[in-house]
Chains A and B, each alone.
Chain A
Amino acid sequence: MLTLFDIDRSNRGRKLPSRLRSLWRVRVYMRPYRRQMTRMLLVSLAGTAAMIAVPLVVRGVVDGPVRRHQPGALLLLGVLAVIYGTLEAAFIFIRRWTQSETALGMETTLRRDLYEHLQRLPISFHERWQSGQLLSRATSDLAVLRRFLCFGLIFSIVNSLALAVGLGLLLRLDWPLGTLVAGSAVPIVFVNRRFCGQHLLIARRMQDQQGDLATFVEESARGIRVIKAFGRRQHMGRKFSEHANRLYQTAIGKNRLLATCSSQLDLIPNVTLGLVIAIGAVEVAEHRLSLGGLVAFVSLQTVLLWPIQSFGWIIATGQEAMTAADRVYEVLDITPSITDSPGAVVVHPRSVTGRIRFEQVGFAYPDHDGGRGRTVLTGVDLNIIPGETIAVVGATGCGKTALVSLVPRIYDVTAGRITIDDRDIRDYTLDSLRSIVGTAFEDPTLFSMSVRENLTLGHHDASESAIAEAIAVAQADFVYDLPWGLNTRIGEQGLSLSGGQRQRLALARAVLGRPRVLVLDDPLSALDVHTEARIEAALARILRETTALLVVHRPSTVVLADRVAWISDGTIRAVGTHSHLMATIPAYRAVLSASTREEVS
């Protein structure tokens, strides 16, 4: 399934059947609303019937009371027109009221499903997809779908029926004229068909280009300091202009297509109307048609104008909906590669001793299409006893971060296995595994939420004392001095923190709840010497009873480790104490000895 999908993604203009299939699949979201959909359909039909009935009343007026001078009958027909008119409005009201609830319900459910699915997809997916592209699927594509399911879909049925009934009536009123009107459907179908083919391509291209533009904007917003520092305003402006111009060209093309088709869809019924009046007049003169009949025919035809013209619009929304459904399912169809295996066990984090073993572990980053890319680690063997702290040391880019990311299954191993307490980590539920393992990354991510929420993240039930302890360990007491303490909003939409403050929060987050296993990726890089020393002292206490893997760049942090694993050429070359490795491995010494000046002296 995954490979099939990936092939499809490579050619952006997908074949119609597959698009139709995507749209067809949306029906599961309509299922809870079957009753409402049926009601809407029935009400729309009734409304259309009322709409069609009015011209017949008009005929009655012209042929009956006006010709025969019957004021009573006129009043009766007037009342009838009032009744039909009121009914039509009432039916529209019921349809729209039902529709708002139904459409929004479906849209909201789909959006939630999309979001939950995205949260389950692995990091390797998110590295390939910009959040801007995903966002446009969760907002504009879903809005397109909503519009189609509640307007387009209903009206495609109602208007077809209205057209059929209306044409039947027209034929009954006067068959030669009726045939003429029916015949005018041929060129309309022809115009619509041509429109379909072109609109499909251009709509998708436009959506993609809008996504590209959004991505570019996002980057230039986040990189504004770099752009400023280098004075690259013009450069960015030019690149933006390229994107915007590309979008402009596509939009102009789309507009041209729409202008031509919609005006043609106006032209055809109008010409038909002209012919109807001319021929109809002759028929009236020859007494084959009453004057009221002609007036009714003409007003019925005008009533049918909207159902006829709407087909172009329905087709357009239908196609946009197909594209949208396709883009949504493109994401929903990706199966999360890191999931609970069948029979995965749930364990209480406290019941784990924290013995970790790497057995012939290999890892390659997934490449562009989700296949296997560059190999980073091979044949890694490492045995960590409960409570032990291992520092991972190696040159920049040697795979230290990859190695520690494997433990909480941010990535999955591509060879060998990792065990905790002799059980493959893939045999724990993800939830269990990640509550056993606490993590802090190189660059701390903060969300636009309160400090408390940022600290607890998944531990929503963490106690106040646990939070206070985590803050103490990470020397993050500054949070108490924020304007609203732990309730202060931080992150992009809130108060901005310095790099060091962010890093301390990230560390507090990792140690919160005293996880059995700690994975810390260079957690102290942005801190000044004072703070670093204080944190190290606090961390040392915690690490006594926790199994830990630390990625380390500084000799000062190595002190925290019982043993050091030296990584080179994608595998662990040596494991031993810091002093042992310093003494025996020159490359290690080069990476961890403090400064050039020391070497000189």
Chain B
Amino acid sequence: MSTERRADLAAWRGIATQTDAERSEAESPGAAAVVRLRLASRRLLGSLLRPHRRPLLAAVLLLLAQNAASMAGPYLVKIGIDQGIPPLTESPRDLTVMATVACLFVLVTIVEYVGKRGFLLLCGRIGQTVLLDLRQRVFDHFQRLSIGFHERYTSGRMVSRLTSDMDSITELVTGELDVLILSGLSVVSVAGMLLWLDPPLAAVTMLSFPFLLVLSRWFQSASARAYRKTREAVAMVIVHFVESLDGIRAVQAFRRERRNSEIFDAVNDDYRQANLTAMRLIAVLSPGIKLIGNLTLAVGLTYGGYRAMHGQMAVGVLAAFLLYLRRFFEPMQELSQFYNSLQSAAAALEKLAAVLGERPSVTEPARPTPLPGCRAQGTLDLKGIRFGYTEHRPVLPSLNLLVPAGQTVALVGATGAGKSTIARLVARFYDPDEGSISIDGIDLRKLSDHDLRRAIIMVTQENFLFSGTIAENIALGRPGASINDIEQAAKAIGAAYFIEALPDTYHTEVRRRGGRLSAGQRQLVAFARAFLADPAVIILDEATSSLDIPSERLVQQALRTILTDRTAIVIAHRLSTVEIADRVLVLDHGRIIEDGPPAGLIAQGGQYADLHRQWRESLA
């Protein structure tokens, strides 16, 4: 691919608040932060393993037994050759030494078998349990973190934390951790055996160590860079892949396929290049270790042969030495194979530790204040609220608002006036920077999540449906609701007529994020869900915008009944929805500029009156 072609392709992504380099920097940041993250991930690992101390100890014992047994093999060969064979040649033949050696050998293999199997079983069980624990912790933590975090973090990254990062840890835990530990242990014990068998020969073979060290140091630093590139490249592939398929309707309708393919080719090729670099590092490392090993073997063989020739060393020792040497370099070879897995697992663990280290900015109180009575009344009091998404731009500079229980308040104003922000604060998606919001006199920050969500429900335009049946989606409002309750809720909201016309009525699968239902239908389901939850305060943020008129009318009729004994905050473009409010607030740059019953505001002739006039005119 030519350079200008690449440059042309590079423009498609556009510029974001953080450049890509910064973004990856943010995920694996500068020196001090790296140390902090490493520590955090080590602490995380510690906390994950702590409950398994005993099984871990057992696994280590099994491992040691297996290692000792496998170390004994070549040594037995040595005894067999040096001390077993001579008595065999004498007459009368003495079989005892050889027979003992053979029996010991079989015993040792059985110990090795039992040890290995036991270790693998135990290690696998611990690994999987740790994984399960980690998965649940991360998932729960994500669910606990505030909306502010999720808006910054994006769902795509949350998905990759819980899938691809988890996969790289799984890969290490299931297939390779045991080999890694085994290899490391056997390298150490083989070195010990060599020294014990014949120190001069061992000393000669240890000449290879500096070479090994240099090689592995080079690999370590080069591969750390290479593998990070790989992970970044695969993330791009994943984002482009998933977004194209999620937006396939637009892709096809606008003949985007060719351009998409070009872009995909580019990111796919970047991924290939990154992988190629990483694989070529191994292509150098692996034969490099092999070469050092083979040369050491050749030197050992020659020097050992020389010593044996001069009677300074028995032939059996030489044989055992060569067998041990092989066991020394083979696992080194394997260690290099697993280095990648180890690295990506470590990187994944760091990212997960970073997520788990995030504190929710909206927290549940340790000792929540219960709401008086079994059901909240719904008096909302917003006092001295100051709030902004970024420090320098307050959306709400100073807001005071008292909503008596049972009142329906409509918020009106241009985009950016702060309507949705008020809704989000009341739903406690965010906490105000200054001031307090209370329900029935209790600060929202003092309520348990359960009580808060029981009392206040927000329905937005987003109307997200989960895969599953329509009934299940409605039941999300009150888990454990009977099908009868669900049907009642649907009827009350006016959703029953279309649900009952579906092939499987309430048990119709909504499929891919409710793709088969129209936006209006999805909205009705979302509404039924909120109705079933039966909150004291209901917030409707543009919740009726995608309804057609009959549906909206149905909902509005239902709303009148629903809202009579509830406090409500309604945000809507359609003034038809606003008209059912008891009170209208007109907002401008986060300040209330008009406040009063709709009819009163129309009579006053302010902004609301203007809006209302325009709206009347738009009705043909």
Contact = CB atoms under 8 A, between A and B. Distances in A.
A285 B99 CA distance: 14
Contacts of B113: 263-264, 266-267, 270
B620 A558 contact: yes
A555 interface: yes
Given A449-B12, A453-B14, A592-B549, A119 B248 contact: yes
A492 B155 contact: yes
Contacts, number: 533
Contact of B546 (A294, A437, A442): A442
A274 B102 contact: yes
A554 interface: yes
B11 interface: yes
A231 B453 contact: yes
B80 A277 contact: yes
A494 B155 contact: no
Contacts of A226: 462, 464, 476, 526
A259 B124 contact: yes
A387 interface: no
A450 B248 CA distance: 18
A370 interface: no
A596 B559 CA distance: 12
Given A111-B268, A453-B14, A596-B553, A244 B135 contact: yes
Interface stretch (A19-27, A124-132, A155-163, A354-362): A124-132
Contacts of A460: 259
Interface in B597-620: 611, 614-615, 618-620
A295 B80 CA distance: 11
B106 A271 contact: yes
B interface: dominant SS: helix
Contact of B244 (A58, A119, A302, A446): A119
A112 B265 contact: yes
B73 interface: yes
A494 B128 contact: no
A341 to B, nearest CB: 17
B183 interface: no
A487 B14 contact: yes
A484 B284 CA distance: 44
Interface stretch (B47-55, B144-152, B186-194): B144-152
Interface string B541-561: 010011111110100110000
B109 A271 contact: yes
Given A235-B476, A489-B15, A490-B14, A259 B264 contact: no
B283 interface: yes
Contact of A237 (B140, B238, B524, B553): B140
B259 A457 contact: yes
A335 interface: no
Given A215-B467, A277-B80, A233 B549 contact: no
Contact of A220 (B143, B305, B414): B143
A493 B239 contact: yes
Given A434-B254, A528-B573, A86 B305 contact: no
**Size class of B's contact patch?**
35 or more
Contacts of B454: 231
B440 interface: no
Nearest to B429: A228
Contact of A105 (B101, B251, B272): B272
A262 interface: yes
A interface: dominant SS: helix
Contacts of B80: 277-278, 281
Interface in A280-295: 281-282, 284-285, 291, 294-295
B288 A89 contact: yes
A112 B270 CA distance: 13
B315 A62 contact: yes
A533 B618 contact: yes
Contacts of A36: none
A447 B264 CA distance: 14
A529 interface: yes
A139 B240 CA distance: 13
B545 to A, nearest CB: 5
Contacts of B150: 224-225
B276 interface: yes
A218 interface: yes
Given A397-B498, A525-B545, A112 B268 contact: yes
Interface in B284-311: 284, 286-288, 290-291, 293-295, 297-299, 301-302, 305-306, 308-309
Contacts of A100: 275-276, 279-280, 282-283
A218 B142 CA distance: 12
Contact of B15 (A131, A303, A487, A554): A487
A97 interface: yes
A248 B513 contact: no
B24 to A, nearest CB: 13
B452 A89 contact: no
B13 A448 contact: yes
A559 interface: yes
Contacts of B502: 374
Interface string B76-120: 110011001100110001000011011001100110110011001
Contacts of A554: 549
A31 B206 CA distance: 46
Given A270-B112, A445-B246, A452-B14, A493 B135 contact: no
B297 A108 contact: no
B105 A274 contact: yes
A217 B159 contact: yes
B255 A458 contact: yes
Contact of B109 (A92, A97, A270, A374): A270
Interface stretch (B35-43, B318-326, B484-492): B318-326
A445 B249 contact: yes
Nearest to A457: B254
A131 B242 contact: yes
B213 interface: no
A496 to B, nearest CB: 7
B369 interface: no
B299 A439 contact: no
B592 interface: no
B433 interface: no
A532 B553 CA distance: 21
A54 B517 CA distance: 71
B549 A58 contact: no
A116 interface: yes
The residue among A446, A494, A596 with the most chain B CB atoms within 10 A of its own CB is A596
Interface string B242-268: 111111111111111111110011001
Contact of B241 (A99, A138, A245, A457): A138
A511 B522 CA distance: 27
B414 A526 contact: no
A252 B85 contact: no
A590 interface: yes
A85 interface: yes
B245 to A, nearest CB: 4
B261 A112 contact: yes
A509 interface: yes
B187 to A, nearest CB: 17
A222 B513 contact: yes
B593 to A, nearest CB: 17
A74 B117 contact: no
Interface in A214-246: 214-215, 217-233, 235-237, 240-241, 244-245
Given A96-B282, A397-B498, A458-B255, 20 more contacts: A58-B301, A62-B315, A105-B272, A120-B257, A127-B512, A214-B162, A221-B159, A229-B453, A258-B120, A266-B116, A281-B98, A295-B322, A431-B255, A434-B253, A442-B546, A445-B247, A449-B13, A496-B151, A526-B573, A555-B549
24 contacts: A74-B309, A78-B301, A100-B276, A100-B282, A112-B268, A119-B251, A135-B238, A217-B139, A223-B464, A237-B143, A244-B135, A254-B174, A259-B121, A277-B77, A278-B101, A295-B319, A397-B501, A401-B518, A430-B255, A435-B255, A441-B253, A458-B257, A525-B545, A528-B573
4 closest Cβ contacts across the A-B interface? A231-B453, A85-B294, A450-B14, A255-B124
